[in-house]
Amino acid sequence: MNLRNITIATLASLCLVSGYKAPTKRLTTTLLSRLMPNWTPRHQANFALYVPTCSVVKSYPYSTSPTIRVYGITKNYSAVLTGYPVNSSMDPGKQVPCGKNKRNCGGLQNRGVLYGWTDKVRPALTGRSSFVFYTDYTLQKPKEGSSAEYCVHIYSPPVGKIEAINRAIGAGARDPSRNFGSDERLERIILGASKGKTKKIAACCFLLHG
């Protein structure tokens, strides 16, 4: 690859979570149609005109954290990077294998491996923020000719210390302590540890290409 600095995802899909309060400055429908003409809201809510967007800028090789740029979120937040296990059967599109009880099988696996963590991001008053995963980051390049999906999950207010997360921070990409089984289970751990003090407000997903 000749490019030293590549944009992996521009205006990547950012899924809003119900309960997020939008910035005071409104975006017009005209601006929305220009930015994201094929955008379809997943949640019907009163903030449909306040759609945050994100972009992901990566410097090759993948051993350094990508730069995540978020527009439209004014609250301080923590950011969590998840993906699929390295070179496993849990790649995107693979089905969950059936166990002995034949339950919960046949559906698609859902990431659940912790690859990055940023304790606190302070957006500007305009709702713009830019960060890298400075607290923890590990990632391996996808196989040549293949792609891997990753998601940045945004929690606000920022998340405090969590024992299960602390065990994973600093571990290798293949370390079992990083694998929480699914994004949903990792979210339950984070929300449970915060005792209702933090909420997941958005998720920004993108692809890396081998």
**pLDDT tens for the 210 residues of the chain, in order:** 433 433 344 344 555 554 445 444 443 333 333 443 333 334 433 434 457 889 999 777 788 899 999 999 999 999 999 999 876 544 444 444 444 444 444 445 678 999 999 999 999 999 999 999 999 999 877 888 888 899 999 999 999 889 999 999 999 999 999 999 999 999 999 999 998 899 999 999 998 887
Give yes or no for a contact between 75 and 105, defined as CB atoms under 8 angstroms apart.
no
Residue 74 to residue 48: CA distance in whole angstroms: 16
- Domains of the chain are 5-209 (3.90.280)
Nearest to 139 by CA among 114, 162, 164: 114
The side-by-side arrangement of strands in the sheet containing 199-209 is 14-16, 199-209, 147-156, 77-83, 113-121, 136-137
Give yes or no for a contact between 15 and 42, defined as CB atoms under 8 angstroms apart.
yes
Q: Is 14 helix (H, G, I), strand (E, B) or coil?
A: strand
Residue 70 to residue 145: CA distance in whole angstroms: 29
Residue 65 to residue 137: CA distance in whole angstroms: 6
Return the H-helix or E-strand segment holding 82. strand 77-83
pTM (2 d.p.)? 0.71
